[in-house]
């Protein structure tokens, strides 16, 4: 048996506090399920005072398996332990993470209430790992509560075509302005088109900004090598009007926690509620409609304002299959005294 050891990003503990090891192990277990060979002894261990996550396999990791490992949100370095019983040396293994956009983009834009990019990366990974799709399936990702675009930037880094919907137009303006300046500063070939559409019979107008981009002019020539990022200043309850059926492989969203800000529902357009239940009650049918069969929905929320059991019941009633066995029940973690964050993972079909 061969043992591999993973060193976590030094900033990982900062995101999850005491639960960081638990969340990393959960993500690693999901990743190992994608391997063509069995993983055993998935665990945390200390060597010479340094903590690693480790697992054993029968054969050296394939390129595909290395690609899955390289996408882990927390990974900093990967090692293979020497197989010689008299030699405990760790041999470094090169990671294979492709960066379609420099990963620093997610760290540059800072604002109050921003979700940490490591957590966002984990949500995207868990979503893809829980779906029927691979990284090379031309992934389309939707964030229906996009804010200033952290999820979109993380998805773009992985080469996904990303789309965000955000109710507050100022946030859309800030996110698209930031992305445009980043494209210009980093000298990406890019175009930006703008249009509007009426998203409901009542005449609510949505404003859409579409970026196409590539690292250079040569890459921009082909649709296959161009990146796509869109932001819609509109309401997620109209997702089925914005998009065709079964457009997205993944829907990833970090729901408002009901502390500094709430959710705007359909029944009271000008009121904000602490629980995301009202918002999802009206949004989930449209989310189900625009998600591909075999795709996954991953939503983070504050368990202090809405119990997991009620969330599960609503998702099931709207046609989703909730994934709640181990390790899906291992993602709860404390953000601060008023926020106990968890993620819900559900599939269509």
pLDDT digits (tens, 9 = 90+) for 234-288: 999 999 999 999 999 999 999 987 544 344 444 444 444 457 899 999 999 999 9
The Cα–Cα gap between 80 and 4 comes to 4
Segments in 8-149 forming alpha helices (H): 12-16, 20-32, 63-70, 105-108, 117-129
Instruction: Please identify which residue in the block is written with the tokens 């709860």.
Output: 332
Decide if 2-93 and 105-347 have a common fold.
no
* Domain extents in the chain: 2-93, 105-347
CATH of 105-347, picked from 3.40.50.150, 3.30.70.20, 3.90.550.10, 3.40.1190.20, is 3.40.50.150
116-145 pLDDT, tens digit each: 899 999 999 999 999 999 998 999 999 999
- The residues pairing with 334 across neighbouring beta strands, listed in sequence order, are 340
- Are 158 and 252 contacting, i.e. CB atoms less than 8 angstroms apart? no
202-225 pLDDT, tens digit each: 657 899 999 999 999 999 999 888
- Give the per-residue pLDDT at 54: 96
Radius of gyration (C-alpha) of the chain in whole angstroms: 20
- Give the per-residue pLDDT at 205: 83
- The residues pairing with 45 across neighbouring beta strands, listed in sequence order, are 52
- Are 341 and 335 contacting, i.e. CB atoms less than 8 angstroms apart? yes
The Cα–Cα gap between 261 and 113 comes to 9
- Give the per-residue pLDDT at 262: 42
The Cα–Cα gap between 34 and 129 comes to 7
Length of the chain: 349
pLDDT band at 13 (very low <50, low <70, confident <90, very high): low
Reported pTM: 0.91
- Give the per-residue pLDDT at 266: 46
* Token pair listed for 209: 């900004």
- The residues pairing with 119 across neighbouring beta strands, listed in sequence order, are none
CATH number of 2-93: 3.30.70
139-189 pLDDT, tens digit each: 999 999 999 999 999 999 999 999 999 999 999 999 999 999 999 999 999
- Give the per-residue pLDDT at 267: 47
């Amino acid at each position: 048996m061969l043992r591999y050891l993973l060193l976590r990003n030094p900033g990982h503990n900062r995101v999850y506090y005491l639960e960081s090891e638990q969340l990393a192990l959960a993500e690693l277990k999901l990743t190992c399920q994608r391997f063509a060979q069995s993983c055993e002894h998935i665990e945390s261990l200390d060597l010479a005072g340094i903590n690693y996550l480790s697992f054993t396999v029968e054969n050296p990791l394939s390129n595909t398996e290395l690609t899955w490992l390289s996408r882990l949100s927390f990974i900093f370095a990967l090692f293979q332990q020497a197989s010689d019983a008299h030699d405990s040396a760790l041999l470094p293994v090169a990671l294979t993470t492709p960066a379609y956009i420099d990963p620093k983009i997610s760290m540059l834009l800072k604002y109050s209430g921003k979700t940490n990019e490591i957590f966002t990366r984990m949500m995207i990974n868990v979503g893809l790992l829980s779906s029927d799709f691979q990284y090379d399936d031309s992934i389309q990702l939707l964030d229906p509560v996009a804010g200033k675009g952290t999820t979109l930037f993380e998805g773009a880094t992985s080469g996904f075509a990303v789309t965000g919907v955000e109710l507050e137009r100022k946030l859309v303006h800030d996110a698209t302005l930031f992305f445009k300046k980043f494209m210009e500063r980093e000298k990406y070939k890019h175009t930006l088109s703008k249009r509007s559409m009426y998203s409901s019979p009542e005449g609510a107008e949505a404003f859409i900004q579409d970026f196409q981009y590539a690292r250079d002019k040569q890459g921009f020539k082909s649709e296959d090598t161009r990146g796509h990022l869109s932001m819609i200043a509109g309401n997620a309850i109209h997702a089925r009007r914005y998009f065709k059926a079964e457009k997205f492989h993944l829907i990833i969203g970090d729901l408002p926690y009901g502390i500094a800000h709430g959710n705007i529902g359909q029944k009271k357009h000008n009121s904000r509620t602490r629980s995301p239940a009202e918002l999802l009650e009206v949004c989930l049918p449209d989310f189900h409609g625009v998600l591909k069969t075999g795709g996954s929905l991953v939503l983070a929320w504050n368990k202090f304002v809405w119990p997991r059991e009620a969330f599960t019941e609503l998702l099931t009633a709207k046609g989703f299959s909730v994934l709640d066995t181990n390790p899906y029940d291992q993602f709860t973690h404390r953000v601060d005294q008023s926020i106990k964050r968890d993620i819900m993972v559900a599939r269509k079909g």
